[in-house]
Structure 1
Amino acid sequence: MLRPKPSRIESSQNGSNLVPQELTEQSSHQESTPTASIDIQMELNRLEEMILASFRIPLTRRTLVDEEKLLDQLDFIRMCLPTAFAEVADMLQQKEEILLQAEEYGQQIVEAAQAKRAQILDDNDILRQAEREAAELRRQVQQQCEAMLQDTLEEIDRKRRQCQQELEEMRQAAIAEAEAIEQGADEYADSVLESIEEQLHDMLQIVHNGRQQLQPNLPPPRNSQFPKNG
């Protein structure tokens, strides 16, 4: 099931656009329902390139990924899966047609054998041999058809389950990484503000000490009620 489309935030607090134009154009391309042949491997490669091309935080092993863009790509791949499955179904249909042709060919051989039997009614040994060959050929063709059909269905089901599992793992990893990056940014901002607060406190203390040397009776500063955080 496709995730609900979230509301887009067009600009940040300073009014700058958060999403580049090329990302918006690609998102518009992905929102359209695919109608042409889709290469799932190519779309997965594009998803990988999207992650590798994202902004990497200096001095860390973390990358700042556009969560909405990443989820849009996953949704696009998920929408492409029915098309890919349809292509596999077409291939299966072609194989079934080939198998039907093989069965028709086998039937033609059987009919040829029956015609030959009609011509040599007096030769019972040849008649029995032709019947055995026709039955054996029919059995072999039927076994081959059933085996090819079963193998194809199993392969389609295996690829479908594998693709769904990989997409879910990539989605969970992307969400976890985005949450970790957001938490790290908050901690970094708090650390910077704490450092600035300490520096301002020290500067105010130095100014007050200087004034107190000039004016010994100078009362304590009004902001002394805000002690320095330990």
Structure 2
Amino acid sequence: MLRQDSSNIGPEAGFNASVGASQNGVSSREGGRTGVDIQRELNRLEEMILDSPRFFGRTFLDEEHIIEQLDQIRLSLPDAFHEADSIVRHKEEVFLQAEQYAQEIIDTADRRSNQLMNESTIVRQSEMQAQQIRQRVQQECESIREQTIAEIDRMRQQAQQELEEMQRMAIAECEAIQAGADDYADRTLHDMESQLGEMLRIVRNGRQQLQPEPPVRASFGQGGMRPSQRGK
């Protein structure tokens, strides 16, 4: 029973001491010596028990040496407990630091996530604004195109009306010119006719003046008839 207890206590104490030394990162001579002393004293206690004489299945122990060895171990235990407590505190500090580090990582991840969400929100807002601007530009272009088409139609209609008005005015002017020309020709022909009539009258008068007058014959008897004409 004692051997089993010593084997359970010794390695754990040495392991804890070694872990404490490795975790603290300090090669403490006093702590290392305490761990080695406990292990050595436990080994000596085990040897004393194993080397004790046995009779009829019973082991006879040297009580004085056993008590001295136990006292030696008991004196070494407070340092070991203190070292174990330091290891536990160091573990707690390590765990606390690990928790703080993990919390910092979580906080950093949260901040990064929020930043990404904000950036994503900014990107979505930018995309929405770009879409709105694109739609507004398309609407403005469509409105300008419709206005341009309407203006072109209005200008074409106005030009058509002006062309028709110019055609009417040209036709009216041509008709007026034609009427004036007809009147002028009629007046000219009338004047020429008058002049030609006057010239014809002058020519006739000239011809009459150029022809000699016929002689006047004497009348025979009364009534201006010859006797032969009377008998008839």
TM-score (norm 2): 0.37
More helix by share: 2
| RCO comparison, higher one (Cα < 8 Å, 6+) | 1
| Larger-Rg structure | 2
TM-score (norm 1): 0.37
